[in-house]
A and B are shown apart, each in its own frame.
Chain A
Amino acid sequence: MANLIPPRFKVVIDYEKCRKCKRCVINCGFGVYSFSDRVIPDHKKCVSCQRCVAYCPEEAITIIENPNVFRPNSYWTMEERINIMKQASSSGMLLTGMGNDRPYKNYFDHLLIDACQVTNPSIDPLREPMELTTYLGSKPDAVKVKVEDGQIKLDTKIAPQIKLDTPIIFSPMSYGSISLNAHKALARAAKECGILMNTGEGGLHKDLYPYKDRIIVQVASGRFGVNQEYLDHSAVVEIKIGQGAKPGIGGHLPGEKVNREVSETRMIPEGTDALSPAPHHDIYSIEDLAQLIYALKEATNYEKPVSVKIAAVHNVAAIASGIARAGADIIYIDGFRGGTGAAPTIIRDHIGIPIELAIAAVDDRLRAEGIRNSVSIVAAGGFRHSGDVAKAIALGADAVAIGTAALIAMGCHVCQMCHTGNCSWGIATQRPELTQRLDPDWAAGQLINLIKSWSLELKEILGALGLNAIESLRGSRERLRGIGLTDTELAILGVKHAGR
């Protein structure tokens, strides 16, 4: 039956324009093209990653959705039917890459930001200072000072803090799921922008050691690449419990992606599958998490914040409260739009909750318990532009993390085929002929531009709000209004409806 499954896309070649340069044949990571007298596409292999389109010098290629549609049915969509056909012919679990692409309600697009008119002045970020500086880490409730020789001096030592020049960091994407060049680009951009990149769970390649002050290293259930040296080359240590795209399940990096460099970095034999267990096998409850948090603090001499990353699930507020009380300095929450290098489609598309609701619920809960100061909240999961960032911060996040947007900046076209390892853009692949396509300097430049653009826009939004420091927006839900939301949704988000 496999052969009966229709192609999702059609490759249309304008043979009058085609000069037979075969650039498309070389560029396609998915083996769509063959050549005999002329370029011949195998439509079934096409994922619409657009690499051939971009690199055809004659603009002779167009990818279209297969016009040969199944009989339309708004319930049994073409995608559902194709998925059933695939499973009926394979008996396997469907895999996918990137974040949930289903049309669930998107709360960001139902929130509007306030602005000043008359009663308080807006502020011009081109003429006045506008501060985005953000510190991640646990804060005490109060600062103590003492007076010595008429001088007021600090009498409190607070937990370690990590400075961000702008409240946006790169989300965890492991070396293995993405290429070393992509990792290098993220690290360089993080350094240049004064933000952080996150290793994900695949360890830290030695080439990235010089960027250690700008790196979050993950300790995940597979413990790949974790040793003292790894912990020492970081600004923050993060315990990965879950991921928005696949809450509750582990990870699987197929053996073919585990080349020599990946094997050295992950500290596993070359060519073996890298399997992350679903739970940490030393964490079966919250008190076990507390032990790991303090084990990592001991190992890093209490000089680094420890972050705990969880997926946004139904009971996220209570879980976050437990994590705060277990001693975490940062809670990283990943919403259901968060991306992945590989996940079962059924998990990605049906498990978890939107990050907007999770931020609001967690921030409320921590405030109700009077412990909001004790942790920073980093939110992730589908931030598309600086408007989403501003809304997340107003809902209560200290900073946000971006993954998919960063990949797009590096050339990703969101074809959702990361799990195949064939990324034509050289990002989500370890095939040397593909990874060499991504120039880390160029990609870093793209990332830097993106972070700078969003930061400029954030300043403009702050100015419109009459604010000149990001901390005055953080958790200030008074400056948001909902549109087209039910009373329950408004209550969870803690915002009034537009017009009120």
Chain B
Amino acid sequence: MDRAFERIPSGCAISGIMNVSGKRISGEKIITSISLMHDRSNGLGGGFAAYGIYPEFADHYAFHLMYQSERGRTLTEEFLNKHFIIERGEPIPTRPHPEITDPPLLWRYFLKAPEERLYKNHEPMDERDYVVEKVMFINDNIPDSYVASSGKNMGAFKGVGYPEDIGRFFRLEEYEGYLWTAHGRFPTNTPGWWGGAHPFTLLDWSVVHNGEISSYGINKRYLEMFGYKCTLMTDTEVVAYAVDLLHRRHGLPLEIVAKVLAAPFWKDIEKMEEEDKRLYTTLRQVYGPSLLNGPFSIIVANNKVMMGLNDRIKLRPMVWGRRGDFYYMASEESAIYEIEPSLDEVHVAKGGEPVIVRLKEGEQNG
């Protein structure tokens, strides 16, 4: 992991599948979909987020860790032992793959936050804030250790390689989830490192991103003011933290979060009804620094939602479609037809207009 590369621009392919009834499917389909867009990646990064894969540990935070050294593992496990109750810790199952070389040590832990520790400055502390703080600490302070994901009943599987090879390496066809997202990466100036692959996650948020965030510099500085540490050397990281800040901490609905990340133009705000005009003017005034400027299409997911979003002048492709309870999003239409030849509907996502797909009520965790 060469920290001299502080920021790595990249092209990419993304794909997402969600069953809104919570029906779980194996990782086979998402691998097939993303592998169709092979040429959009260059073998320097691929990854997946999977939701609903750990039903037996649904109430535990599933931490996926990447270690560059045994020392990193020792130090991190010491840290986790001190701050969490570890229900189980084990290597993430992988199979040897000719295209995947030099992987880090890959471990997962199922954790609970001890109630007696949920205090900060003698004040009760939100459990999720506690978890975020620990994730930030590991990424920022413990050498050779990176948290790949930290949500409940979900996990991120990512690394250096083409996404289909990464998928096989992690044996994703053996998992079952109701929501899958995938990413194939085309970084342009890096030897590639495992922590820099997508998805980027925090708690159960995951983000896969096609594009480059030209406003990264200020997005990063803004998020740092709220305690986020941008350590993963990739612009996409800020999306995950921005969504966490705006949705979880500031309580903004996802529709509004999308309108902060890809804000309406002032000229369009001018034309709105008085009440909306006030709302959107205030949002831009207050959240200007978290506007994501530059070309992007992203799929943001958590345990209940999959959201596709394009930058406001649509500089990157994204298509979404539906067949029954299955919703699909991808950089290319063909990547959807590859796994679902007969769609009920298919649309091009509009610039700045989020496509939000929600799990039906009461069907969480499939």
Contact = CB atoms under 8 A, between A and B. Distances in A.
Contacts of B212: 119-120, 466
A121 B252 CA distance: 30
Interface in A459-491: 465-469, 471-479
B286 A142 contact: yes
B289 A471 contact: yes
Interface in B232-269: 249-253, 255-256, 263, 265-267
Contacts, number: 123
B216 interface: yes
Contact of B253 (A123, A147, A471): A147
A162 to B, nearest CB: 11
B145 interface: no
Given A120-B214, A475-B221, A145 B10 contact: no
Nearest to A477: B217
A153 interface: yes
A152 B253 contact: yes
A474 B255 CA distance: 25
A33 B313 CA distance: 62
A452 interface: no
A119 B266 contact: no
B215 interface: yes
Interface residues of A, number: 45
A139 interface: yes
A128 B293 CA distance: 13
A372 interface: yes
Contact of B288 (A129, A465, A471): A471
B278 interface: yes
B112 interface: no
- Chain B CB count within 10 A is highest, among A135, A153, A158, A468, for A468
B357 interface: no
Contact of A467 (B11, B214, B275): B214
Given A153-B275, A467-B294, A367 B224 contact: yes
Contacts of B221: 367, 475-477
B289 A474 contact: yes
B218 A121 contact: no
A255 interface: no
B272 interface: no
B285 A135 contact: yes
B225 A472 contact: no
A86 to B, nearest CB: 49
A478 B255 contact: no
B215 A476 contact: yes
Nearest to B277: A154
Nearest to A495: B217
A471 B275 CA distance: 23
A145 B279 contact: yes
Contacts of A145: 251-253, 256, 279
A373 interface: yes
A66 interface: no
B218 A158 contact: no
A123 B279 contact: no
A103 interface: no
Nearest to A494: B221
Nearest to B312: A468
A472 B291 contact: yes
Interface in A160-200: 161
Interface string B281-311: 0111111110101110000000000000000
Given A116-B214, A475-B221, A467 B293 contact: yes
B7 interface: yes
A17 to B, nearest CB: 55
B211 interface: yes
B188 interface: yes
A367 B218 CA distance: 11
A131 B283 CA distance: 15
A137 B267 CA distance: 21
A263 B226 CA distance: 51
Interface in B308-332: 312-313, 315
B279 A474 contact: no
Nearest to A118: B188
Contact of A479 (B217, B253, B265): B217
Interface string B8-19: 011100000000
A120 B313 contact: no
Contact of B313 (A119, A156, A468): A468
B333 to A, nearest CB: 22
Interface in B185-223: 188, 211-212, 214-218, 220-222
A453 interface: no
Nearest to A470: B288
B293 A468 contact: yes
Contacts of B265: 129, 131
B5 to A, nearest CB: 10
Nearest to A371: B225
B288 A474 contact: yes
A152 B284 CA distance: 16
Contacts of A373: 225, 286
A281 interface: no
B286 A140 contact: yes
A272 interface: no
Interface string A101-133: 000000000000000101111010000110101
Given A128-B313, A466-B294, 20 more contacts: A120-B9, A120-B211, A123-B313, A139-B286, A142-B251, A142-B286, A143-B283, A151-B275, A156-B282, A370-B226, A373-B286, A465-B214, A467-B215, A471-B218, A472-B214, A475-B217, A475-B218, A476-B221, A477-B221, A478-B216
14 contacts: A119-B10, A119-B11, A120-B212, A129-B313, A137-B285, A145-B256, A151-B275, A152-B255, A154-B275, A158-B285, A475-B289, A476-B215, A478-B7, A478-B216
* In the complex, the 4 A-B pairs of residues with the closest C-beta atoms, listed nearest first: A478-B217, A471-B288, A476-B217, A472-B293
Interface of A: 116, 118-121, 123, 128-129, 131, 133, 135, 137, 139-145, 147, 151-154, 156, 158, 161, 367, 370, 372-373, 465-469, 471-479
Interface of B: 7, 9-11, 188, 211-212, 214-218, 220-222, 224-226, 249-253, 255-256, 263, 265-267, 275, 278-279, 282-289, 291, 293-295, 312-313, 315
